[in-house]
Structure 1
Amino acid sequence: MTAPGALADHLLGLELALQSREVRGSEQKLRELLAPDFREFGRSGLAYTFDDIVTHLVAETGPDNTSISDFSATMLSDTIALATYRGTRINDGGSRLFTNRSSIWRLDPDGKWRMVFHQGTATE
């Protein structure tokens, strides 16, 4: 079932926040958006745990250079949503990297949505 429009907009906002330098550079803000049991299979093929990804993202430098298109959100249960989209990133050499992305978001007991899983798959 497609997520209600307000929830889809909220999840898109959370995904966009996670792409911003402000959030990626803040361990506190990442801890607010990522669940402690978070896991990721990155575009590179590497697997990350919560601690791995927080350490990696906080150490990143450079400008925000990622955009999101074709976003959709689907409810998997009352408290679990699947977000899918196409990400475009411009690398340091100016080339565009395209990635199909999916995230699983969970509504935690404190009423906040947190990402529990993310996967990026490189595309042409």
Structure 2
Amino acid sequence: MTHTLPDLAHIRALEEALHRPAVRRSRAALEDLLAEGFVEFGASGSVYHRAEIIDLLVEENGEDTAELRTGDYRLTPISPDAVLLTYRTHRIEADGSQRHALRSSIWKWDGSKWQMLFHQGTITKPFAYD
């Protein structure tokens, strides 16, 4: 089966699905979005593997009251079956605390759908959106 590289809107939609509490708490949705072999280098400095991050996310409780702003999305092809998505986040907690991060994800084609293979969040200084 042949496929074409996805456009930014498609990969961005998949990425942003992972920001939503309903998706983060759904084991089936996470297993569909995260590839076998998935690894995350968290903004906290921790390293997470697929099974571990799925277990952590489905156990999140309570409503997420933080506001998450995203921007500066860019999509770069890295092979016929993989793309690199980069973007910035600005998270504002209910208590007013804030965290800015640079984010990068590698999405790969598994033969039928795009799945995230790698993600990294890196804390950064505050930035302004265009």
Structure 1 length-normalised TM: 0.90
Distance 1:65 1:57, change over 3 A: farther
Where in structure 2 are there 5+ consecutive unaligned residues?
126-130
Q: Which amino acid aligns with 2:81?
A: T
1:1-124 alignment runs, 5 A limit: 7-61=7-61, 62-63=63-64, 65-109=67-111, 111-124=112-125
Alpha carbons 1:25, 1:58 under 8 Å: kept: yes
Q: CA deviation at 1:92?
A: 4.5
Task: Compare 42-51 and 91-100 and name the one that shifted more.
Answer: 91-100
- Measured after TM superposition, the shift of residue 59 of structure 1 is 1.4
Match of 1:68, SS? strand
Aligned length: 120
CA contact (8 A) 1:67 1:87 kept: yes
Task: Report the secondary structure of 1:104's partner residue.
Answer: strand
Alpha-carbon RMSD: 1.7
Give identity over the alignment, percent. 41
Per the alignment, in what secondary structure is the counterpart of residue 15 of structure 2?
Answer: helix
Q: Distance in 2 between matches of 1:68 and 1:114?
A: 20
Instruction: Decide which structure has greater helix share.
Output: 1
Give the Å deviation of 1:22. 1.1
Cα deviation per residue 1:43-100 (whole Å; 9 max; x = unaligned)? 0000000011101111123226323210010000111000000011123522121000
